[in-house]
Amino acid sequence: MNAFFSQEVPLSWYLLLSAVLFSLGVVGFLIKRNLITIFMSIELMLNGVNLSFVTFAHQWHAVKGQIFVFFVMMVAAAEAAVGLAIIIAVFRARATLAVDRIDRMKL
């Protein structure tokens, strides 16, 4: 049981997972055609980067990395509120969420 608990995971695996999550977010941003799903892909990218921050905070035993993630979360919350409000405004003006048909900045 002791050997079972002492198993360790290289931090590079966490960093690789974070890179893969970020790339999946970018791919989602490129292939999705729905405004809300594109926005969710951006959140996925933010989460991937946050995992990197926490991993490096663990590596260097630094608290500031974790605090940066806290700030990223707060900014993401503000961004989600404003972004979804913009999506609602766009939907009101166009009655669609397909990005192919939202091709003008003017409402």
Give residues 30-69 in contact with other proteins (rule: CB under 8 A).
30-34, 36-37, 39-41, 43-44, 47, 50-51, 54-55, 57-59, 63-64, 66-67, 69
Say how far apart CA 74 and CA 20 lie, in whole Å. Answer: 23
Q: Is 96 left (phi over 0), alpha (psi -120 to 50) or beta?
A: beta
Residue type, 52: S
**Closest distance of CB 3 from other proteins, Å:** 10
**Min CB(19)–other proteins separation in Å:** 4
Restricted to residues 1-30, the positions that interact with other proteins (CB under 8 A) are 4-17, 19-21, 23-28, 30
Tokens of residue 88, six digits: 């609602």
Q: What angle do CA 76, 37, 97 make, to 5 degrees?
A: 115
Would you say 63 or 105 has its CB closer to other proteins?
Answer: 63
Q: Which of 81, 102, 105, 106 contacts other proteins by CB under 8 A?
A: 81
Question: Cβ distance 47 to 21 under 8 Å?
Answer: yes
Q: How far is the CB of 48 from other proteins (least distance, A)?
A: 9
